[in-house]
Amino acid sequence: MERKILITAAVLGLVAIVLGAFGAHGLKKLIEPEAVATFETGVKYQMYHALFLLFVGTTNFATQKVKKYIFILVVTGVLFFSGSIYFLACNALFSFDFRTIGFITPIGGFLLIAAWALLLLNLMKRKG
Q: Where are the domains of the chain?
A: 2-125
Indicate the burial class of 76 (C-beta count within 10 angstroms; 0-12, 13-18, 19 or more).
Answer: middle
pLDDT value, residue 128: 64
pLDDT along the chain (128 residues), means of 10: 94 96 88 91 97 95 94 98 94 88 95 97 85
pLDDT value, residue 98: 85
d(CA 117, CA 48): 15
Model's pTM, two decimal places? 0.90
